[in-house]
Structure 1
Amino acid sequence: MTSSRVIKHPCPVHRLEPGGKHHFFGYYNKSVWDKTGSYLLANQVPMMDARLTPELEAEVGYFTLGEREAFRAVGTTRAWNWQMGCQLQWLDGEPGRKIVYNVRTGDMTARYPGFGAAIHDIDSNASTSLPLPVYVVAPNSRYALCVDYRRLYVTHETIGYGEHGGPFELPLAPSDDGIYRMDLATGAAQLLVSYADLRGFHPKASMEKAIHWVSHIEIDPASSRMLFLHRWTERVADETCFLHRLITMNPDGTAMRLLECSDHPLPQLAEDFDPAAVGTFDYEKSEYQISHPLWRDERHIIVWGPHAGSIHYHLYEDSDSGRVDVIGEGVLTENGHMTYSPVDPRWLLSDTYPDTQTNERVLFLFDTKEGLRYDIGSFYTPPDLKKENRCDLHPRWRRDGRAVCIDSVHEGERQMYVIDVSAITGA
């Protein structure tokens, strides 16, 4: 890394009032703040880490911000994990303050037996139920995209929901499961693309004996286009055996476009390979990894992944042009959770995985105009936290671009922190 292009610029850090319990949000791909900046979404639990079971409950709610900062619960859920929480998110296209999150329903006749979602109106305290668990909600709040979290628990445990008696045998590429679109007003759902469809889309020989799934589903700001990662493997126990593709399509399942594929030989599939020898973060640092894609705008996608034989932060144009630009060459040299400022795409927010020697994770802003990286904080993580219960920073923007929020365990608790970045961004 070129030191002259990296500036250490610590920013003020404020821990949200813990009230004797632990708090986290989960993923990096959505804002925790409501439209007014007065409320901040969170999950509350009594422990910093635990092996998840179907009975383990989290409180779902929000922090009120200001002089009387406090957490207020609006419900509970047993459909959550440490990495993504319960997919808690604001319904920004709805009037007032409405949220949606995943729950266990007990309805074993549902499309995904025992799982659904709840919509809660904070202003009226009214709640409604949805028949499928959500992955991501469109910015216009008209529809959500949904997947089977039990499948994810088998293929990629850190982002799935477990059940007793599992893991279960699953069909490798079924024609009746994949990405569903659910209408939030009615709960009506339709299958947009199946795993069989994906296996047949620009097929590779490595797909034939592999189990298939999707993750990192995101909808563009106009609610008119979606992206996802199609992944497959013959060995779910070893994430370095995962193969990846970045795909976009319309939210009705049409006009599917392949932007990137990292199919490559896998010597790890040899029978004598020991997946236990793979380090906690080796997968995140793989030169073949495609991860953390997110829309910058309606036409461009930022992603960490390989292209033309080299791995970088890449900006893809969602078109037939094939245009791919490197972002931060020589400065942004490792995988992270990246998002553009909601008010100024000059600023890219991201983080690193723990350093192997110090166990420190760096939080930074990257100035895409000047090519400068501002390291705004470094946060320790205990090395005994593993894949399933780790606490990534997962930085998230405040909607005015003046602050960011992270999850962290550097003080021996799992808590949420707000960091003032306005001195850098000038937002």
Structure 2
Amino acid sequence: MNPISNVYNWQRLTPEDAHYYFGYYDRNPWNADQTLHLMLRIDQCERLPLPGEKAEIGVVTPNGGWRKITETRAWCHQQGCMELFHPQRPDCIIYNDFDPETRRLEARIFQLGKGEVGRYRRPIYALAPNGRYAVSLDIGRIPRRGYSYADCPVGDSLYPADPDHDGIFLIDLKTGEEKLLASYRAMLEKHPYRYSAEGRYIWLNHAIVNCDSSRILWLFRQTPDQHQVRGWQTFMYTCGLDGKDLCCVLPEAYWTRAISHQIWGRTPNEILVDANWDGTGHHAVVLDESEHPFRAVKLAESHGIMSHMIFSPDGTRLLADSYPDADGVQTLALIDSATGAMDILGRFNHRPEKPNIGDTRCDLHPRWSPDGHYITVDSIHDGRHRACYLLKI
């Protein structure tokens, strides 16, 4: 009997000698022909990484088997090192690392079987689906250590040193040319209640490019104490990849105790969120960010608690995981986009007496393969190691 499901046959992809995981749910871990799946290998999951501590980057095949490629000092438990296959160079991966000589984060290109073949001056956060561009932001400013890197300690400056020339950047993957799409100054000018950001530490994260590579969304966050990271406020912004039409689509008033995650949907302007706007629990909700004011539509009831959600490549289904319930169980559901019908794909018992919801926790972070036939998740339900599991559907 499969411990995850009595119906679906989940397969463990990674060895049992260490902790293995991919990272976030908003990106594709597979190579072009779906024969290799990217993975990180680490020795511990009980604490945050220390400065200088490395993670191994490698690949596994759908039948299992691990092969190390390289190492990185720029990694975290929630999002790894942003490792991805390079869209313009199928035999290469792109990932973030820390250069001890320059004391800077950067993105590196590694050719399988050969070695490092290039670098970008800034770290990457996301890739555009058209394969032409990467999005960058100052990961070192992110005070949540489960989403940033140990070699870049959080500073004391509430605002970036140069808010006119720092913010969301676009990198041309072919030439390495950089362009500032939206500055902190421009975001503050569009801030729906700018006074609330005064005397607050501000940062950016969770940048994602839409399906036709025409627009980007990200979160602008502010907190009274960057060293505690409690009581932060969230504002979701969007703009075109040409830097035009900058807008704060979802102010903080829509977020508090109502949304935990967001991602682009099936069309260039559709955004999917796990909203609890009616007070009955978190549901799968979509909105058109080009409409002002927007009109939200509920697709499905979902789990009723906070969830990572993502549409299948063809848009007909969506995956929705859950945070641990009172017993430490995380549930993964497959939802029909048209009817809202839900099928439980698995229940992952993460076992601890008190479920870990801190920066070293292990979320499922469900991910589709490009053809929509495979799902992978990260889980620690065996009680020993963080591991990657695969389901063919």
| TM-score with structure 1 setting the length | 0.82
The farther-off stretch of 195-204 and 325-334 is: 325-334
- Alignment-derived partner of residue 361 in structure 2: 390
Instruction: Provide Cα deviations, 1:283-338, integer angstroms capped at 9, x if missing partner.
Output: x9x62445232333322111224658886432121313544333345444222111
Deviation at 1:10, TM superposition (A): 3.6
Is the 8 Å Cα contact of residues 262 and 306 (structure 1) preserved in structure 2?
A: no
Instruction: Provide Cα deviations, 1:93-145, integer angstroms capped at 9, x if missing partner.
Output: x253322100011243xxxx421011123265552111111101112222211
* Structure 2 residue identity aligned to 1:396: R
Q: Secondary structure at the match of 2:196?
A: helix
- Alignment-derived partner of residue 291 in structure 2: 320
Is the 8 Å Cα contact of residues 219 and 295 (structure 1) preserved in structure 2?
A: no
- Find the aligned partners of 1:118 and 1:334 in 2 and give their Cα distance: 37
- Find the aligned partners of 1:413 and 1:309 in 2 and give their Cα distance: 36
The farther-off stretch of 324-333 and 226-235 is: 324-333
- Alignment-derived partner of residue 105 in structure 1: 99
Say which of 53, 58, 74 aligns to 1:79. Answer: 74
Aligned: 1:376 with 2:345: yes
The equivalences for 1:359-374 within 5 A come to 359-374=328-343
Change (3 A) 1:11 1:238: farther
Change (3 A) 1:415 1:328: same
- Alignment-derived partner of residue 254 in structure 1: 244
Q: Give the aligned length.
A: 382
- Find the aligned partners of 1:180 and 1:37 in 2 and give their Cα distance: 30
Aligned: 1:296 with 2:285: no
Structure 1 stretches lacking a partner, 5+ long: 1-7, 265-283, 423-427
Change (3 A) 1:180 1:107: farther
Instruction: Provide Cα deviations, 1:239-265, integer angstroms capped at 9, x if missing partner.
Output: 55121222210113211123211248x
Instruction: Provide Cα deviations, 1:165-185, integer angstroms capped at 9, x if missing partner.
Output: x44212325333211222222
- Alignment-derived partner of residue 169 in structure 2: 180
Is the 8 Å Cα contact of residues 223 and 230 (structure 2) preserved in structure 1?
A: no
Q: Secondary structure at the match of 1:297?
A: coil
- Alignment-derived partner of residue 391 in structure 2: 419
The farther-off stretch of 323-332 and 190-199 is: 323-332
Is the 8 Å Cα contact of residues 377 and 388 (structure 2) preserved in structure 1?
A: yes
Q: CA-atom RMSD, angstroms? A: 2.5
Aligned: 1:168 with 2:158: no
Structure 2 stretches lacking a partner, 5+ long: none
Is the 8 Å Cα contact of residues 265 and 286 (structure 2) preserved in structure 1?
A: no
- Find the aligned partners of 2:342 and 2:166 in 1 and give their Cα distance: 42
Is the 8 Å Cα contact of residues 262 and 288 (structure 1) preserved in structure 2?
A: no
- Find the aligned partners of 1:160 and 1:312 in 2 and give their Cα distance: 28
- Find the aligned partners of 2:357 and 2:338 in 1 and give their Cα distance: 37
Deviation at 1:65, TM superposition (A): 3.1
Q: Secondary structure at the match of 1:363?
A: strand
- Fraction of identical pairs, as percent: 28
Change (3 A) 1:359 1:253: same
The farther-off stretch of 411-420 and 249-258 is: 249-258
Is the 8 Å Cα contact of residues 101 and 119 (structure 1) preserved in structure 2?
A: yes
- Find the aligned partners of 1:160 and 1:224 in 2 and give their Cα distance: 27
- Find the aligned partners of 1:213 and 1:103 in 2 and give their Cα distance: 20
- Find the aligned partners of 1:254 and 1:198 in 2 and give their Cα distance: 12
Q: Secondary structure at the match of 2:185?
A: helix
The equivalences for 1:230-379 within 5 A come to 230-236=220-226, 241-263=231-253, 287-305=257-275, 312-320=283-291, 322-343=293-314, 345-356=315-326, 358-379=327-348
Aligned: 1:13 with 2:10: yes
- Find the aligned partners of 1:49 and 1:363 in 2 and give their Cα distance: 24
Aligned: 1:159 with 2:129: no
Is the 8 Å Cα contact of residues 295 and 302 (structure 1) preserved in structure 2?
A: yes
- Find the aligned partners of 2:274 and 2:228 in 1 and give their Cα distance: 20
Is the 8 Å Cα contact of residues 99 and 120 (structure 1) preserved in structure 2?
A: yes
Q: Secondary structure at the match of 1:418?
A: strand
- Find the aligned partners of 2:218 and 2:245 in 1 and give their Cα distance: 14
The equivalences for 1:35-74 within 5 A come to 35-66=32-63, 69-74=64-69
- Find the aligned partners of 2:78 and 2:101 in 1 and give their Cα distance: 25
Deviation at 1:16, TM superposition (A): 1.0
Is the 8 Å Cα contact of residues 9 and 374 (structure 1) preserved in structure 2?
A: no
Change (3 A) 1:329 1:239: farther
- Alignment-derived partner of residue 196 in structure 1: 185
- Find the aligned partners of 2:154 and 2:203 in 1 and give their Cα distance: 15
Change (3 A) 1:328 1:222: closer
Is the 8 Å Cα contact of residues 12 and 388 (structure 2) preserved in structure 1?
A: yes
* Structure 1 residue identity aligned to 2:334: L
Say which of 375, 392, 404 aligns to 2:375. Answer: 404
